[in-house]
Amino acid sequence: MKTQKDFAFEQSGTDADLLARVFEKSDQVLVKKLSNNDRDWARFSNKHQAGVYIPHEQRDGGFFPDLAAKHRSDAAADEIREAYFSTTWPQADNEEKQSRLVHYTSKGQETHMTRLPKEVFADLLPASFLIMGRVSSGTAYKYECLTIDSGNDEATLVAELFGLDAGFLVGVFEPAERKAKERDRILDFAEKVIAAWQKGAIAAFAESNAAMPSTTELAKQAHDAFLAKYGLRKTDPFTLETPGDALREISRSIEWDLFRDYQRRERAVEIVRLILGDAPRPVTAPDIIRKLIDELPAIDALMLSASQQRKSRAGYSYEHHIEAMLSGGDIPYEKQVVIEARKRPDFILPSLAFIDSGATDANTGLILSAKTTLRERWKQVEREMGKRRLFLTTVDENIASNAIEDMASFGVHLVIPESLRESKATEYRDHKNVVSFKEFCSEFVRPYLSVWSAHV
């Protein structure tokens, strides 16, 4: 007979539901950003790697069963160490596998997890995630496993749940510890909210402590925090060793953390005011329960608006940081200039008048469009270029080779962070239309600064 635990283990749903369930029921969760090799074995028949690479720190850290030496008929042969364990894959009709963790000592520390369902890896975009939740099952552990496509909204949820920064690759987390940290942070702020409500000052408290800054102000806070962290006066792309990585850190790590903290506080105060009102009064538990039920639609709308707010602000944020870096390098530009009906590129270097002047050196000017995430949105900027050179800068990791080749066919150059250029989790390598932000500045901007400056 199946226990309630077994039955719950077999339920399926959306990826967000599955992820939330793994987070709730597991004592430890392994999160790995998949490299190209981690996906390619499921996509191509000529690949030697037959599964997911597991670093030795995670292999030997207690998350997996201990490895044991495999019996070999040749006693002089290099040792092969292995372990078998049960994995369940809700995205593959709850298929259960006896997966294998194998360490070929002849290859140094190289260890792979094999015997996995190919279909949950085959169609993933670059920089997608493997999620493995370790669940107690009597005397052993079961592992409930998911893959989260980097192109889906659930990838953002992964980053939120586990507090992943832009440079994350692999780690093992304890959900109980993550929840405790989040709870302490919320309760600390809750005490201040309660005190403000009891004084009848919740509205003023919201204004001064929980109001979301404008995109411009939040970007400035993140930029200032980056400068303070590294002791800099400005973000000059010609003096920074890796300016693209700096853009990624400011927009995807520093500002993201600031934004989440503001949003957490903003939503907490909004819910308190929604349920209790602004004026202090005697309140009983039944009063609160009735109000919660009555305001469920409004609370749902509040949570939905939080998700939409995250998406809508990301692109504006990246533009602000690009602008700060152009200014930091004394690079002349025009921002949001209308070049034709309904076409408004983010930046024109040095100016629209220069590019369209017909002068012999006008072809040195360029359009620089900023997109935090691309997907199919690069086709929007392709229509902006006309006969002008177009460079598209992004911190997105999940662009597939075929999309990069499509951009090349239209003459679109991609400008990316330096660390992503050769990353094993991306497909940017070996594409001639892909340059790092450092290369963009040194090869396509610096040589023409004197010409541009003379015309603006």
Q: 47-51, 228-232, 355-359, 428-432 — which one is most confidently predicted on average?
A: 228-232
Q: 303-307, 368-372, 419-423 — which one is most confidently predicted on average?
A: 419-423
**Predicted model pTM:** 0.85
- Residues 454 and 365: beta-carbon distance below 8 Å: no
pLDDT at 4 over 50: no
What is residue 128's three-state secondary structure? coil
Place of tokens 């720190």: 57
CATH 2.40.330.30 intervals, the chain: 4-173
Both tokens assigned to 62: 């207690």
- Give the residue-averaged pLDDT of 207-235: 93
Contacts of 386 by beta carbon, 8 Å cutoff, 6+ apart:
339, 340
- For residues 268 and 125, give the distance between their C-alpha atoms in angstroms, rounded to a whole number: 35
pLDDT of residue 294: 85
pLDDT of residue 13: 46
To the nearest 10°, report the CA torsion of 21, 23, 25, 27. Answer: 160
pLDDT at 85 over 90: yes
Residue 293, Cβ density class (10 Å: 0-12 exposed, 13-18 middle, ≥19 buried): exposed
Q: Tens digits of per-residue pLDDT, 9-40?
A: 333 348 989 999 999 999 999 999 999 999 99
What CATH number was assigned to the domain covering residues 4-173? Answer: 2.40.330.30
pLDDT of residue 444: 96
- Residues 428 and 407: beta-carbon distance below 8 Å: no
Q: Tens digits of per-residue pLDDT, 122-179?
A: 999 999 999 999 998 878 899 999 999 998 888 988 998 898 988 899 999 999 999 8
pLDDT at 275 over 70: yes
Both tokens assigned to 49: 């790697």
pLDDT of residue 6: 36
Least trusted range by pLDDT, from 71-80, 222-231, 278-287, 376-385: 376-385
Which phi and psi angles does 335 have, rounded to 5°? -115, 135
How many alpha carbons lie under 13 Å from residue 152 in its C-beta half-sphere?
Answer: 15
Q: Tens digits of per-residue pLDDT, 100-121?
A: 999 999 989 989 999 999 999 9
To the nearest 10°, report the CA torsion of 184, 189, 191, 193. Answer: -150
- Give the residue-averaged pLDDT of 85-108: 94
Higher pLDDT, 343 or 442: 442
- Mark residue 127 as left, alpha or beta (left: phi above 0; alpha: psi -120 to 50; beta: remaining): left
- For residues 136 and 322, give the distance between their C-alpha atoms in angstroms, rounded to a whole number: 48
Q: Which amino acid is at 343?
A: K
Cα torsion 175, 177, 181, 186: sign: positive
Higher pLDDT, 321 or 422: 321
- Give the residue-averaged pLDDT of 325-337: 93
Query: What's the mean per-residue pLDDT of the chain?
Result: 87
CATH 3.40.91.80 intervals, the chain: 334-455
- Give the residue-averaged pLDDT of 303-326: 74
Query: Strands, E, within 282-341: which ranges?
Result: 334-335
Banded pLDDT at 380 (limits 50, 70, 90)? low
CATH topology classification for 334-455? Restriction Endonuclease (3.40.91)
